[in-house]
Structure 1
């Protein structure tokens, strides 16, 4: 599931802010799982998936910000401020 969500963020299909909040919630649950299952080697794969999800959410958020800034600059170029 984490990989599907990460892929959807990368494609721009999911809101990065929503995914980042979801990933933080998953991290919280994961920390509780690690406490309940110390030494469980299978948790390493899950942890790397969670980290990839957080990176995808951050990248998606950055891409949205970049697009917004580009649009703002285009709009300003088309309508220069009058002094």
Structure 2
């Protein structure tokens, strides 16, 4: 089981940087200068076992969020 200790709401954090676009796809383009595919977003996430494509999509989302956060910390001088 997963127990989180804390979290950061990226959509709120990016406001401090004057970024109005808040979707992960757009934040990845703006902050990381990369394009992430969102094709699996509309697939069936109710299945007990996720497809390999869904797993990759979820992992990419998590990775992108971490990288955006680290980049914003770097920009702010708080890293």
Q: TM-score, normalised by structure 2?
A: 0.41
Structure number with greater CO (CA < 8 Å, separation at least 6) is 1
Pair member with larger Rg: 1
Q: TM-score, normalised by structure 1?
A: 0.39
